[in-house]
Amino acid sequence: MLSRPRVHSSRNAAVLRLIAREAFGNLRATRTRSMLALLGIVIGTASVVALINVGGNAGKEAVNQFKAMGVDLVMAQQPVGSGAGGRTPAYYDAADIERLPDALPDVRAAAPLILSSAQLSANGRSALGNVIGSTASLNQVMPLPMRAGRFLSSYDGAEPFAVVGSRLSRALGAPGVPLMPGDRLRVEGAILTVIGVLSDVTLNPLFPVDVDDTILVPRGAARRVMPSPAITSVAIRVAPDADPGTAADAIARYFGDRMRSVTIDVRSARQLIEGMERQADLFTWLFAAIGGISLLVGGIGVMNVMLMGVMERRREIGLRMAVGARAGDVRVMFLVEAAALSVTGGLAGAALGMALAWGFAILSGWAFVFSPLAIPLGTGVATVVGVLSGYHPAAMAARLDPIDALRAE
């Protein structure tokens, strides 16, 4: 009595080995058709794996570039008043900005921003650029590396000085020679002296302008080149351990208490990074869905191979059932064939997809980061799609009547 389950189990294992051997033999017999179905699974799985990794790496690269500009940046946008005449623009007071780091413990530095644009000219060339009036504290708020010269200082006062962005220095310089400290720059009729040239600065989505296309002038000199030199925004650096939401609320209350009937919009870099990471995840899954469509097409190829196999092997199926094969054995045989195609294609496609994603990252100059979900998701979906695609042909083969099958031509 105790030995029967063991004997029964060993018999089942022997039957499964025999079925697997028969399944692989049948696939080899229809090599061309099986290879076409296998190619569909490979391409579909490679699409899923590659797109998940490429989407994830693209999102991480965008976030890393933004983090390089500083995750502690907070921008207080232009306040909007709500008077009797409706919503009207309001402006910050320079003294309130100077006292901000002393008033709030989470704030490390704050810089006023007077924003404008103007036609700039030098060396017989002209270009439209951004103009920012600010103070030396702007370099404490966000990293602005110098390529030549110096940054604004607290001693500049209202001197007609300018720090020029890298792209603008090339556009206004002599051919092959960008602007350098000591050169003269005309801005709306005013002549400014270049005291520094910035290195290339990564575009920061939180900052209101592209620094590479901008000149920075002392706040006191802004009236020379701007029709309305009012402070419209404030760039703020908070402590690394500060909560971005709490710090933003405290900054909004600070300016709100000093500016009646205004709405202060304060945005933090960390909040924007969190939004970018969520968006990157969304695009990664969107790419995975696009790759999944290719995998579905590969599953249809597996179904076609199985259906053709059933039609061509009806006499064989009838003979097997006539000599004792059960309907379940026939069903398992065809399911094993479908699983063999999908698993083999899934593994090969996963390897191909990883190679494609790595190559794309290298060519794009990104640091390749492996997505842990890519291979399990790609191979897992490939296996499920393949087996489900093979289930209908397997069930159809199992339902064949042995007598009718033996009569088939």
pLDDT tier at 2 (50, 70, 90 boundaries)?
very low
8 lies in some domain: no
pLDDT (tens digit per residue) in 254-311: 998 888 777 788 888 777 777 777 877 787 778 778 777 877 777 777 787 777 777 7
pLDDT (tens digit per residue) in 380-407: 888 888 888 888 888 888 787 777 666 6
200 lies in some domain: yes
213 plus 83 within the same structural domain: yes
Residue 261: strand, helix, or coil: coil
Torsion angles phi and psi, residue 259, rounded to 5: -130, 100
294 plus 360 within the same structural domain: yes
The range of the structural domain enclosing residue 354 comes to 17-66+275-407
90 plus 220 within the same structural domain: yes
Q: Which of 263, 297, 322 is the last residue of a domain?
A: 263
58 plus 197 within the same structural domain: no
Count of domains observed in the chain = 2
Q: Which of 238, 263, 288 is the last residue of a domain?
A: 263
Q: Which of 263, 283, 304 is the last residue of a domain?
A: 263
How many angstroms separate the CA atoms of 268 and 363, rounded? Answer: 32
Q: Which residues contact 307 (CB under 8 A, 6 or more apart)?
A: 392, 393, 396
pLDDT tier at 312 (50, 70, 90 boundaries)?
confident
74 lies in some domain: no
Is the pLDDT at 187 greater than 80? The verdict is: yes
Diameter over CA atoms, the chain? 107
135 plus 249 within the same structural domain: yes
308 lies in some domain: yes
pTM beyond 0.85, yes or no: no
113 plus 164 within the same structural domain: yes
If you average pLDDT over residues 42-68, what whole number do you get?
Answer: 80
Is the pLDDT at 67 greater than 80? The verdict is: no
Nearest to 386 by CA among 317, 336, 329, 348: 336
27 lies in some domain: yes
284 plus 232 within the same structural domain: no
Q: Which residues contact 43 (CB under 8 A, 6 or more apart)?
A: 294, 298, 349
pLDDT (tens digit per residue) in 93-117: 999 999 999 999 999 999 999 999 9
157 plus 27 within the same structural domain: no
Is the pLDDT at 36 greater than 60? The verdict is: yes
51 lies in some domain: yes
227 lies in some domain: yes
